Amino acid sequence: MPLLLSYSLRNLQERKLTNLLTATGMALVVFVYAAVLMLDSGLKQTLVATGEDTNVIFVRRSAEVEIQSLIDRRQARIIESQPEIVIGAEGAPLVSKEVAVLIAQPRRKTKQASNLLIRGIGPAAFAVRPHVQIVEGRMFRPGSNEIVIGRALAGRFEDVEIGSSLRFAQREWRIVGRFDAGGSGFDSEIWGDSEQLVQSFRRDFFSSITVRLADRSGFDALKARLEADPRLTIEAKRERIFYEEQSRLLSGFIQILGLTLSVMFSLGAVIGATITMYAAVASRMMEIGVLRALGFRRSRILIAFLVEALLLALIGWTVGILFASLMTQVKITTLNWTSLSELAFRFVLTPEIVLRSLVFALVMGFLGGFLPAVRAARMKIVDALRVA
């Protein structure tokens, strides 16, 4: 290790308590910053994973979410007869005509009602979304009042478990199975037979239609043709894009709130680092004077103290990101403001977050160390030596 770097490192060890407190302050900020990014990334990942690129979802034009959307049976027939749609093993096109309805269900812990999304699915729904699998119990029988629940719902709501029944739309619905949708937004939903649910909710229309394409490149032609069709009032979106858009409102809020908090906290941490580094400069006046007398240029002194502040930030970052990584074990459930239904997701740590928080920490260290380092570098040699 170069001698000057080792000198900076050992000086950090000298003033253990002060430096530890400063690094802890930085670690806290890094933790908050990384946690916010992880929350946002978890939300996005969950919703983006909900959609598949080869799937296309049709909703009524200008409807942002399925619960606002209406597609009648005549329009549904036109959509399902399109040539781009892949034909399934049973000879039918892979089309799921779906109805999405919110019901209020009390949460297990707080007893407060929260919105649960009930999705009526067509027979081809599981073929359209191969990543969704029944993992416990069994699939509901078509034409029955049976339903299956998403994996993420376990334990969150009253009566939402295999074997119990839920009452909504004037009927009792028996829960017969649990499905795993690979950590996507579907995991927070309840699925039942589309036709049964349409009747029970006394509607004669679907909310959305999801189809699987034979080739993902067929999307543009399909979209252009159907959106121009005067009989249809629908909008076609890639399923992935559709769900990604659902994350925008909440994601925007998390980012703004989180980043505002991080910036405010970081001001505190920067001031803390500045005070620590000023103290370090003040207590090492003699050393600065000696280094300068020995022929070290001002720039070398500046760098030495900046390196020290950056090392401090690096320690803070290491601790902060370590604790933030523990957050990946935490599951969050919240209302998705766009779909208005409950959504469960995890904190997700990505390499980008690791890198961004590192840059954030180093910027804090640089800002905190800059003024003290300048002071050290500008000191007159005789004045610095006189202190000794």
Residues at the contact surface with another protein, assessed by CB under 8 A: 2-4, 6-7, 10-11, 13-14, 286-287, 289-299, 380-382, 385, 388
Which residue, 3 or 228, has its beta carbon nearer to another protein? Answer: 3
Which residue, 18 or 68, has its beta carbon nearer to another protein? Answer: 18
> 74-80 contacts: CB < 8 A, separation 24 or more?
74/231, 75/231, 75/232, 75/233, 75/234, 76/206, 76/209, 78/226, 78/229, 78/231, 78/232, 79/209, 79/211, 79/226, 79/232, 79/234, 80/209, 80/211
Q: Which two tokens stand for residue 181?
A: 């949708």
> 254-261 contacts: CB < 8 A, separation 24 or more?
254/36, 254/39, 254/40, 254/43, 255/36, 255/40, 257/36, 258/32, 258/33, 258/35, 258/36, 258/37, 258/39, 258/40, 259/33, 259/36, 261/32, 261/36
Q: Name the residue type at position 100.
A: A
Which residue, 271 or 286, has its beta carbon nearer to another protein? Answer: 286
We find the least distance from the C-beta atom of residue 344 to another protein, in angstroms, to be 51
Which residue, 198 or 291, has its beta carbon nearer to another protein? Answer: 291
We find the least distance from the C-beta atom of residue 2 to another protein, in angstroms, to be 7
We find the least distance from the C-beta atom of residue 296 to another protein, in angstroms, to be 7
Number of continuous H segments (helices) and E segments (strands) in the chain: 12, 14
The CA distance from 370 to 363, in Å, is: 10
The CA distance from 30 to 187, in Å, is: 31
The CA distance from 162 to 176, in Å, is: 5
Which residue, 10 or 202, has its beta carbon nearer to another protein? Answer: 10
We find the least distance from the C-beta atom of residue 42 to another protein, in angstroms, to be 44
We find the least distance from the C-beta atom of residue 281 to another protein, in angstroms, to be 15
Q: Which residues of 41-51 are buried (b: 16+ CB within 10 A; e: fewer)?
A: bbbbbbbbbbb
Which residue, 63 or 374, has its beta carbon nearer to another protein? Answer: 374
Which residue, 159 or 383, has its beta carbon nearer to another protein? Answer: 383
We find the least distance from the C-beta atom of residue 108 to another protein, in angstroms, to be 58
Which residue, 4 or 249, has its beta carbon nearer to another protein? Answer: 4
The CA distance from 339 to 67, in Å, is: 7
Q: Which two tokens stand for residue 198?
A: 């349409």
We find the least distance from the C-beta atom of residue 19 to another protein, in angstroms, to be 13
Q: Which stretches within the chain are classed as H helix?
A: 3-14, 16-50, 73-80, 125-128, 194-200, 219-228, 239-246, 248-283, 285-293, 298-326, 351-378, 381-387
Q: Which two tokens stand for residue 33?
A: 């910053």
Which residue, 61 or 380, has its beta carbon nearer to another protein? Answer: 380
C-beta of residue 50 within 8 angstroms of C-beta of residue 247: no
The CA distance from 274 to 268, in Å, is: 10
We find the least distance from the C-beta atom of residue 6 to another protein, in angstroms, to be 8
Which residue, 335 or 381, has its beta carbon nearer to another protein? Answer: 381
We find the least distance from the C-beta atom of residue 49 to another protein, in angstroms, to be 51
We find the least distance from the C-beta atom of residue 303 to another protein, in angstroms, to be 13
